């Protein structure tokens, strides 16, 4: 029964290996730098996030339309027939009038960043004509044609707030807020890129571990099969009990299962990295990535205070939170301004014209024969002002909340950096400890195998030492990978990912 299970596991391993070879018939060697560059070009998260600053910039440009002049033009023809009324002496109705009016009124209105609003209006060719009914001395009503009259005019109306909407209004608030939003979106791209680069580094080192772990498991299987072959030979000559052969077969089967798991982990890690560097997985499906880097434990000098200082000045999410406070200050400033009553200085100036001909009428305008002007103040105030007061209080509460969120983020960053520094220090120590453990495991197995050859040990002890050696080798490369991953995570928590990988950010 046990032998049948062994044959099934061996056959399954052979099929798995053959299938893996047919699926990954291409290889591509990549350095860590090349892998990062591929991710920056093709990673879908990065490509999606890059649109955020564009959207914010378009929104900001659109808000400036509040200061774009608005042109209008109105052409109108009208007819008015009015009765003349009653003669108070005779008591008889007096004749009325019929008037035809044609007007062409262009206009230009808008606002300035100071809050001043303007409205330039004119009537280029206000032309009237019609008839008037008059009664002569004989009491006969006659129709008199008045002919054409041109009454053009031109003027400008101005209004300047001096309390509410003076130092900030809705348009200026939105512009200043959108400027901050643009900076926040740019920092969001930076944060996303840092996150992707960090994940690429983590996946790259995990892939190296997965490849090395397959080799470790292959060596473990090789040791188990070698011992199984030797035990079979000893059992055949009667130098060893059949139980020792069964134990060796069990260990070989377990080693094959471990190798299958290592291959599966390798395939999964290949997909993790491919998903980070590709925007079309199908093109990478049959490619096996081969990292060119080696797992090395390069000593680093850790300075917690310097790392904290970097985190407090370079973390994009922290900078985003601080800019969000500035954005809330703008909203608070606007809401406070809305508590004031409306007090505007208003004024207008213009000229009127009159003439039988179009040119004559405009001559009177240019000669300023009929000027018009006005000036004054406009005051208005809601009796309760409940809405602005409560909006201002809400903005104050939201800012206080944002300040606490900022403080919490700063504290979390300090804790993250502290944890990362300690983890990197521990992982570096683990590298040396696991290397020593692997050397001791190799020496112990070598000694025990010699004792077994001389009949002074058992297969059970040798098998146990083989498992220990395989675990020690796997633990050593795991420690190397974890140390490099810890350095990458520390750079991410400090906000120094770009410096670590010699990258220059360009959002254009």
250 within some domain: yes
Indicate whether 322 pLDDT > 60: yes
**For the segment 410-441, what is each residue's pLDDT rounded down to a tens digit?**
999 999 999 999 999 999 999 999 999 999 99
Give the contacts of 33 (CB within 8 A, at least 6 positions apart).
501, 502
- If pLDDT is split at 50, 70 and 90, which confidence band does 134 have? low
* pLDDT for position 393: 96
73 within some domain: no
Is there a single domain that holds both residue 186 and residue 210?
yes
The alpha carbon of 207 is separated from its chain's Cα centroid by a whole number of angstroms, namely: 28
Contact 247, 466 (CB under 8 A): no
388 within some domain: no
Is there a single domain that holds both residue 211 and residue 317?
yes
336 within some domain: no
CA distance 32 to 487: 14
CA distance 99 to 79: 6
Q: How many domains does the chain have?
A: 2
Is there a single domain that holds both residue 361 and residue 495?
no
Is there a single domain that holds both residue 208 and residue 282?
yes
Conformational region of residue 238, where left means phi above 0, alpha means psi within -120 to 50, and beta covers everything else: left
- If pLDDT is split at 50, 70 and 90, which confidence band does 251 have? confident
Q: What is the DSSP letter of 239?
A: S
Q: Comparing 94-98, 180-184, 241-245, which segment has the lowest mean pLDDT? A: 94-98
Q: What is the mean pLDDT of the chain?
A: 87
In order, the DSSP letters of 23-88 are: H--EEEEE-HHHHHHHHHHH-HHHHHHTHHHHHHHHHHHHHGGGGS-EEEEEEEEEEEEE---B-T
Q: Comparing 59-68, 277-286, 454-463, 490-499, which segment has the lowest mean pLDDT? A: 454-463
Indicate whether 201 pLDDT > 50: yes
Give the CA diameter of the chain.
160
171 within some domain: no
* pLDDT for position 90: 53
67 within some domain: no
The arithmetic mean of pLDDT across residues 247-273, rounded, is 92
Contact 109, 69 (CB under 8 A): yes
Is there a single domain that holds both residue 211 and residue 347?
no
The arithmetic mean of pLDDT across residues 72-80, rounded, is 87
**For the segment 301-319, what is each residue's pLDDT rounded down to a tens digit?**
999 999 999 999 999 999 9
Please give the share of the chain, as a percent, with pLDDT higher than 90: 65
Indicate whether 24 pLDDT > 50: no
CA distances from 89 to 86, 93, 480 (A): 9, 11, 119
- If pLDDT is split at 50, 70 and 90, which confidence band does 87 have? low
The alpha carbon of 273 is separated from its chain's Cα centroid by a whole number of angstroms, namely: 22
Range of the domain at 102: 79-111+116-164+342-380
72 within some domain: no
Indicate whether 327 pLDDT > 80: yes
Is there a single domain that holds both residue 314 and residue 451?
yes
Q: In this structure, what CATH number is given to the domain that contains residue 437?
A: 1.20.1600.10
The arithmetic mean of pLDDT across residues 196-222, rounded, is 95
- If pLDDT is split at 50, 70 and 90, which confidence band does 92 have? low
The arithmetic mean of pLDDT across residues 285-303, rounded, is 93
- If pLDDT is split at 50, 70 and 90, which confidence band does 17 have? very low
Indicate whether 114 pLDDT > 60: yes
What residues pair up with 154 in beta bridges, in sequence order? Answer: 122, 351
Is there a single domain that holds both residue 411 and residue 482?
yes
Secondary structure (3-state) at 118: strand
Is there a single domain that holds both residue 368 and residue 398?
no
Is there a single domain that holds both residue 411 and residue 316?
yes
* Torsion sign over Cα 303, 422, 505, 316: negative
Is there a single domain that holds both residue 310 and residue 260?
yes
pTM: 0.82
Is there a single domain that holds both residue 97 and residue 155?
yes
Is there a single domain that holds both residue 275 and residue 421?
yes
Q: Which helix (H) or strand (E) holds 324?
A: helix 316-337
Indicate whether 18 pLDDT > 50: no
169 within some domain: no
* pLDDT for position 125: 76
Contact 176, 302 (CB under 8 A): no
**For the segment 450-485, what is each residue's pLDDT rounded down to a tens digit?**
888 787 877 888 888 989 999 999 999 999 999 999
Indicate whether 45 pLDDT > 60: yes
């Amino acid at each position: 029964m046990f032998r049948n299970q062994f044959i099934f596991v061996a056959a399954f391993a052979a099929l798995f290996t053959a299938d893996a070879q047919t699926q990954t018939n291409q290889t591509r060697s990549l350095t860590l730098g090349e892998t990062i560059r591929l991710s920056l070009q093709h990673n879908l998260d990065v490509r999606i996030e890059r649109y955020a600053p564009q959207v914010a910039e378009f929104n900001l440009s659109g808000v400036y339309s509040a200061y774009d002049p608005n042109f209008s033009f109105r052409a109108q023809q009208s007819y008015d027939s009015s009765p003349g009324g009653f003669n108070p002496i005779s008591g008889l109705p007096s004749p009325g009038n019929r008037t035809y009016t044609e007007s062409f009124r262009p206009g230009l209105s808008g606002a300035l960043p100071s809050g001043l609003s303007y409205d330039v209006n004119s009537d280029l060719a206000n032309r009237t004509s019609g008839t008037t009914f008059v009664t002569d001395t004989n009491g006969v009503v006659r129709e008199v044609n008045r002919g054409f009259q041109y009454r053009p005019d031109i003027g400008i109306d101005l209004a300047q707030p001096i309390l509410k909407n003076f130092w900030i209004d809705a348009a200026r608030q939105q512009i200043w807020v959108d400027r901050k939003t643009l900076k926040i979106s740019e920092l969001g791209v930076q944060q996303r890129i840092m996150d992707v680069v960090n994940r690429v580094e983590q996946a790259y080192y995990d892939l190296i571990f997965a490849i090395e772990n397959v080799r470790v498991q292959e060596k473990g299987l090789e040791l188990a099969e070698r011992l199984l072959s030797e035990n079979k030979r000893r059992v055949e000559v009667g130098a060893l009990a059949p139980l020792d052969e069964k134990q060796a077969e069990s260990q070989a089967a377990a080693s094959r299962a471990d190798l299958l798991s290592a291959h599966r982990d390798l395939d999964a890690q290949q997909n993790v990295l491919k998903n980070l560097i590709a925007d079309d997985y199908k093109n990478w499906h049959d490619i096996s990535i081969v990292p060119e880097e080696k797992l090395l434990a390069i000593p680093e000098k850790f300075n917690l205070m310097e790392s904290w200082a970097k985190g407090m000045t370079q973390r994009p999410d922290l900078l985003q939170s601080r800019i969000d406070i500035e954005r809330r200050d703008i909203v608070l400033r606007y809401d406070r301004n809305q508590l004031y009553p409306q007090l505007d200085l208003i004024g207008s100036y213009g000229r009127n014209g009159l003439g039988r001909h179009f040119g004559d009428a405009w001559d009177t305008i240019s000669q300023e024969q009929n000027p018009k002007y006005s000036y004054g103040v406009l005051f208005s105030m809601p009796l309760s002002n409940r809405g602005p007061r409560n909006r201002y209080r809400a903005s104050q509460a939201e800012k206080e909340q944002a300040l606490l969120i900022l403080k919490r983020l700063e504290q979390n960053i300090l804790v993250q950096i502290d944890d990362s520094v300690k983890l990197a220090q521990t992982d570096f120590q683990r590298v040396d400890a696991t290397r020593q453990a692997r050397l001791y495991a190799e020496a112990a197995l070598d000694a025990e195998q010699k004792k077994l050859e001389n009949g002074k040990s058992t297969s059970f002890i040798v098998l146990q030492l083989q498992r220990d050696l395989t675990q020690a080798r796997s633990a050593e490369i795991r420690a190397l990978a974890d140390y490099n991953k810890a350095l990458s995570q520390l750079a991410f928590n400090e906000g120094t990912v770009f410096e670590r990988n010699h990258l220059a950010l360009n959002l254009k």
